[in-house]
Amino acid sequence: MSSLADVDPQIAELVAAEERRQADTVKLIPSENYVSKAVLEATGTVLTNKYSEGYPGKRYYEGQQVIDQIETLAIERAKALFGVGHANVQPYSGSPANLAIYLAFLNPGDTVMGMGLPFGGHLTHGWSVSATGKWFSPVRYGVREDTGRIDMDEVRALALEHRPKLIFCGGTAIPRTIDFPAFAEIAREVGAVLAADIAHIAGLVAGGAHPSPVGHADVISTTTHKTLRGPRGAMLMASDDEHAKALNKAVFPGLQGGPHNHTTAAIAVALREASGDDFKAYAHQVVTNAKALAEELSSRGFSLVSGGTDNHLILIDLTSKGVAGKPAAQALDRAGLETNYNTVPFDPRKPFDPSGLRIGTPSVTSRGMGEAEMRQIGAWMDEVVTAVSKGDAEDVIARVHAEVSELTGTFPVPGLS
């Protein structure tokens, strides 16, 4: 940091401020995590100086003696960890990875079926404001109003009616196990490519805490920075050679230029970490913690979409608490509890001012917190949300913030000294 502080003290101070903020906050955003010191180190290396368009052994620039070895290690580790025949570690992030799937298998105007964004899907699964919703013909499935869960009969009926060429399963606000075999059966029945977007749950899959899509989905996309606990980036995986070739061509030269080699190295490090027994224990604890937090919130009268969770994520409908998601998330943030406001299925409110809160346990589990801390966090959330609903939250926010600081002081952030 000394040279950064010399060259650009403003940015150095802002980085230090963000370090302090991350250390002092209980991070409950389910798509975030803390990387290890080793992953951070790999990210900040001279590998950022190199162009490597192409793939190992077939590049458009010389000087790839080292980069080829790094990318090959990342690929081999991804294949071994997830049990797939092919991995592409070059997508810059989740959205470009998903766009590569369209380029690989669809023509503009073709039909894609995915979960609607307000029900827990992702923008790139064919939502209207995304290029994938503008350039392709989207069909959307949701969840049942009475259960908050995906209705596989509805998915099958829609697929038979619209005959999509591509079906996405997975999403960003799904608290329940994804039934990969059921999606695969439907995709086979209509002749669609099945893409499993496991961005949120990749670490759980790797650690054996969620069923794997391997053997069911034709292609798998994931980011590397959520439960998988790597740097910001993404991967595409396939078992079949034909799918693999199409994906490779779509990523480069179809969509991207040179891969971000420093990120590739950090992905390789994260994949190595994720193959250890410690990581398996971590993945299971993420789920145990989420269930404990969900139970605490339920017992305090919070309404959870689908009634609870099977994974790392909890979606809360705050309607019964008399508070909207945004003011609740803002008050919680001021109390040191970082969440994000989110739409809930059948939300009568607007996406920028929705009824829900989305929380999760990947980050708090990386800090070593367990079920006792989850119960405490549930109690704090209740106190703050109740105070907001009464319109007099300042004293509660100040007290909870002091208590949160005491807790975070005893659970250091991985990767920070």
Residue closer to ligand DSN, measured from CB, 77 or 122: 122
Asked if residue 172 binds ligand DSN (CB under 6 A), the reply is: yes
Q: How far is the CB of 378 from ligand DSN (least distance, A)?
A: 21
Asked if residue 31 binds ligand DSN (CB under 6 A), the reply is: yes
- The Cα 134–Cα 117 span in angstroms is 15
Q: How far is the CB of 33 from ligand DSN (least distance, A)?
A: 11
Q: How far is the CB of 209 from ligand DSN (least distance, A)?
A: 18
Q: How far is the CB of 267 from ligand DSN (least distance, A)?
A: 17
48 assigned to active site: no
- The Cα 327–Cα 376 span in angstroms is 21
Q: Is 122 helix (H, G, I), strand (E, B) or coil?
A: coil
Residue closer to ligand DSN, measured from CB, 54 or 360: 360
Asked if residue 256 binds ligand DSN (CB under 6 A), the reply is: no
Instruction: Give the residue closest to ligand DSN by C-beta.
Output: 31
- The Cα 387–Cα 384 span in angstroms is 5
Residue closer to ligand DSN, measured from CB, 328 or 400: 328
Q: Are 236 and 251 in contact (CB under 8 A)?
A: yes
Asked if residue 94 binds ligand DSN (CB under 6 A), the reply is: yes
- Over the window 43 to 82, marking each residue x when it contacts ligand DSN by CB under 6 A and - when it does not, the resulting string is ----------------------------------------
Residue closer to ligand DSN, measured from CB, 112 or 158: 112
User: Token pair for residue 188?
Assistant: 């086979």
Q: What are phi and psi of 246, to 5 degrees?
A: -65, -40
Q: What are phi and psi of 137, to 5 degrees?
A: -100, 105
Asked if residue 33 binds ligand DSN (CB under 6 A), the reply is: no
Residue closer to ligand DSN, measured from CB, 122 or 176: 122
Q: How far apart are the first and last CA of the chain?
A: 12
Residue closer to ligand DSN, measured from CB, 94 or 414: 94
Q: Are 312 and 360 in contact (CB under 8 A)?
A: yes
Sign of the CA dihedral 395, 399, 404, 409? positive
Closest CA relative to residue 32, chosen from 293, 309, 209, 231: 231
Asked if residue 224 binds ligand DSN (CB under 6 A), the reply is: no
Q: Are 90 and 251 in contact (CB under 8 A)?
A: yes
CA dihedral 360, 366, 372, 377 (to 10 degrees): -40
Q: How far is the CB of 226 from ligand DSN (least distance, A)?
A: 7
Angle formed at CA 123 by CA 106 and CA 120, multiple of 5 degrees? 115
User: Token pair for residue 306?
Assistant: 């689908």
Q: For helices 180-190 and 152-162, give the axis angle rounded to 10 degrees.
A: 20
Residue closer to ligand DSN, measured from CB, 94 or 336: 94
Given the residues 53, 68, 185, 333, select the one marked as catalytic. 53
| Chain position carrying tokens 């949120």 | 200
Q: How far is the CB of 59 from ligand DSN (least distance, A)?
A: 30
Scan residues 103-132 and list those touching ligand DSN (CB under 6 A).
Answer: 122
223 assigned to active site: yes
Asked if residue 98 binds ligand DSN (CB under 6 A), the reply is: no
Residues near 271 by beta carbon (within 8 Å), at least 6 away in sequence: 74, 77, 78, 81, 230
Q: Are 122 and 178 in contact (CB under 8 A)?
A: no
Q: How far is the CB of 45 from ligand DSN (least distance, A)?
A: 26
Kindly state the helix (H) or strand (E) to which residue 363 belongs, with its residue range: helix 362-366
232 assigned to active site: yes
Q: 383 forms bridges with which residues in the sheet? A: none
Distances (CA, A) of 92 to 99, 193, 263, 285: 11, 22, 9, 29
51 assigned to active site: yes
Q: How far is the CB of 184 from ligand DSN (least distance, A)?
A: 23
Given the residues 197, 218, 317, 347, select the one marked as catalytic. 197
Given the residues 50, 79, 156, 232, select the one marked as catalytic. 232
Residue closer to ligand DSN, measured from CB, 291 or 312: 312
Q: What are phi and psi of 295, to 5 degrees?
A: -65, -40
Scan residues 310-369 and list those touching ligand DSN (CB under 6 A).
Answer: none
Given the residues 223, 224, 309, 408, select the one marked as catalytic. 223
# residues near ligand DSN by CB under 6 A = 4
- Which residues in this chain contact ligand DSN in the complex, by CB under 6 A? 31, 94, 122, 172
Q: Give the active site residues.
A: 51, 53, 197, 223, 226, 232
